[in-house]
Amino acid sequence: MSNPTGVQPQPADRAHVETHFESGEMVRDIVIGLSDGLTVPFALAAGLSGAIASSRIVVLAGLAEIAAGSIAMGLGGFLAARGDAEHYVSERLREEREVVERVRDEEEEIYEIFEQYDVPRASAAPVLEALKKNPTKWVDFMMRFELGLEEPKANRALSSALTIAGSYIAGGLIPLLPYMLVSENLLALKLSAVITLLALGIFGALKGRLIGTGWLRSAVQTVLIGGAAASVAYLLARILNGHAG
Q: Which of residues 17-46 bind a copy of itself (CB under 8 A)?
A: 17, 21, 35-36, 39-40, 42-44
**Site for a copy of itself, residues 122 to 181, rule: CB under 8 A:** 122-127, 129-131, 133-134, 137-138, 140-141, 144-145, 148, 150
In whole angstroms, how close is the CB of 154 to a copy of itself at the nearest point? 19
Minimum distance, C-beta of residue 141 to a copy of itself, in the bound complex (Å): 5
Answer for which of 112, 183, 184, 186 binds a copy of itself (CB under 8 A) is: 112
Counting residues that bind a copy of itself (by CB under 8 A) gives 99
56 contributes a contact to a copy of itself by CB under 8 A: yes
Contact in structure between 183 and 193 (CB atoms under 8 Å): no
Interface region with a copy of itself, contact rule CB under 8 A, candidates 99-107, 151-159, 187-195: 99-107
Q: Site for a copy of itself (CB under 8 A): which residue of 53, 89, 102, 216?
A: 102
Task: Tell me which of 12, 22, 154, 244 binds a copy of itself, using CB under 8 A.
Answer: 244
Backbone φ and ψ for 22, nearest 5 degrees, come out as -80, -45
Closer to a copy of itself by Cβ: residue 44 or 174: 44
Touching a copy of itself, residues 195-234 (CB under 8 A): 211-213, 221, 225-226, 228-230, 232-234
> Which is nearer to a copy of itself, 52 or 202 (by Cβ)?
52
Interface residue with a copy of itself among 15, 71, 186, 198 (CB under 8 A) is 71
Whole-angstrom Cα distance, residue 101 to residue 106?
9
97 binds a copy of itself (CB under 8 A): yes
* N- to C-terminal Cα separation, the chain: 66
User: Using an 8 Å Cβ cutoff, are 182 and 59 in contact?
Assistant: no
- Does residue 47 belong to the site contacting a copy of itself (CB under 8 A)? yes
Using the minimum distance from each CB to a copy of itself, give the nearer residue, 129 or 154.
Answer: 129
Burial class (CB in 10 A: 0-12, 13-18, 19+), 12: exposed
Closest approach of a copy of itself to the CB of residue 204, in Å? 10
